[in-house]
Every structure is written in structure tokens, then in C-alpha cells.
């Protein structure tokens, strides 16, 4: 299993059906339901992604496995699978930040695998700036870029120091910036509003 998407594998030649039930990423995990026409020994590989924590856990038929693969690898589960067996995977998410390559004073914020974007207010409506009409590779006559929002943290700070999880199931966050607070959301939820996925970090205070 590579992706955490509700889907069904129907392997007719083997009489095996694996149904994945999840509301990921609102749900921090997934469940595999096994339907088998006959008991058979098989190995099911479950991806334990690199963005999860050491608290990731896997249960087979409600019983936790004693050992789980490290984040960034696969867990191989081999057993005689029976019809009705289940695999439950818990994948806790946490806030983290990744600096811009080559410039650690600029960073992006993530929650698990999700890139977070700051909502900077309403975007342009029917002005020429809303739609790029030029067919050039580099669009012309664009307005000057707005400055990046400034985070109330230095480059090596923990993301939890300046971002608050308002609701994990609803994926709502608040970032503390310089003199203001910004609502944040997963990038895929951004529509027509102005937004930024990068933040300008504060300069570290010099020791006197």
C-alpha cells in the first residue's frame, strides 16, 4: 500500500479483495479490509511515510503489532489472511518547517505531508491581474510581488512555536506573524484569495 486513498483492489485470479477505507488527510490513518475466498499466506507491504512520527502504529484485527517500520520505509506483514481480517494504520501528523534551499531565512510550513498556505485576504476580482492573458513563458506586466509574511520565529525555531493547530480534523491552523495572526490551511484548499506558502523568518538576535 503506497497511497492513503479510499480505493478497492479486486484480484480476481487470487480471490482476494482489499478495500481501503479512509478520510485521509482529515483522518490521520487508514484501514484495510480483507475479503478472501480462501485462507492464504500472503505478505502485505504498508508504507510508513517519512512525515509521520515514531508514534505510528499498526493493528491487525484490533491487536497492535509489537514493532512498526521506521518512518520512511515499508512494514511487511506476512500471515495467513482470512476473510474479514483488517489492518488499521495510525499515522500521526505533526507541524514542521522546511527552509528554502540555499536560504534558510525563508521557510515553508507543513503538517504531515500537507503544505500549509497563509490566507492573506481576498484576491483580485475582475481586474487584469486576475488572469494572465499573455502566452509568453514569462508573463509580462505583472504587479510587483508582495513581501513575504514575517513569522514570529527565527530560522531554527520549532514550527510549534509560531503555528497553532486550531483543529486537526478540520485542518485549521493559525500562524503568529510580525504584529498579526494569519489563518492557515492546506494549499489544496486555496481558491481565489491571496496566499503565501513561504515565510520570512526573523534574524537571530546577536549576542552582546
Q: What pTM value is reported for the model?
A: 0.85
The reply to whether 126 and 109 lie within a common domain is yes
The answer to whether residue 193 sits within a structural domain is yes
Are 85 and 126 in the same domain?
Answer: no
Domain that holds residue 21: 7-90
Same domain as 117, residue 50: no
- Rounded to whole angstroms, the Cα distance separating 29 from 56 reads 9
Residues 75 and 111 in one domain: no
Identify the CATH number of the domain in which residue 57 sits: 2.60.40
Residuewise pLDDT in 10s, the chain (208 residues): 889 999 999 999 989 999 999 999 999 999 999 999 999 899 999 999 999 999 999 999 999 998 889 999 999 999 999 999 999 999 999 999 999 999 999 999 999 999 999 999 887 666 655 555 566 677 677 677 788 999 988 888 899 999 999 999 999 999 999 889 999 999 999 988 889 999 999 887 655 4
Specify the pLDDT at position 92.
97
79 lies in the same domain as 100: no
Number of domains in the chain: 2
Q: Are residues 116 and 178 in the same domain?
A: yes
Amino acid at each position: 500500500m503506497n497511497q492513503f486513498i479510499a480505493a478497492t483492489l479486486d484480484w480476481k485470479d487470487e480471490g482476494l479483495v482489499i478495500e481501503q477505507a479512509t478520510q485521509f488527510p482529515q483522518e490521520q490513518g487508514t484501514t484495510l479490509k480483507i475479503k478472501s475466498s480462501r485462507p492464504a499466506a500472503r505478505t502485505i507491504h504498508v508504507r510508513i511515510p517519512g512525515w509521520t512520527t515514531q508514534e505510528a502504529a499498526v493493528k491487525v484485527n484490533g491487536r497492535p503489532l509489537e514493532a512498526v517500520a521506521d518512518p520512511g520505509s515499508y512494514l511487511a506483514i506476512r500471515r495467513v489472511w482470512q476473510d474479514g481480517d483488517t489492518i488499521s494504520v495510525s499515522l500521526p501528523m505533526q507541524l514542521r518547517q522546511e527552509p528554502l534551499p540555499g536560504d534558510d531565512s525563508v521557510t515553508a510550513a507543513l503538517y504531515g505531508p500537507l503544505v500549509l498556505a497563509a490566507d492573506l485576504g481576498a484576491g483580485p476580482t475582475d481586474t487584469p491581474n486576475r488572469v494572465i492573458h499573455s502566452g509568453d513563458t514569462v508573463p509580462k506586466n505583472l504587479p510587483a510581488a508582495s513581501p513575504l509574511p514575517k513569522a514570529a520565529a527565527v530560522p531554527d525555531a520549532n514550527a510549534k512555536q509560531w503555528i497553532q493547530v486550531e483543529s486537526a480534523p478540520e485542518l485549521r491552523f493559525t500562524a503568529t506573524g510580525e504584529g498579526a495572526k494569519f489563518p492557515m490551511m492546506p494549499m489544496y484548499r486555496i481558491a481565489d484569495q491571496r496566499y503565501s506558502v513561504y515565510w520570512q523568518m526573523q534574524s537571530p538576535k546577536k549576542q552582546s
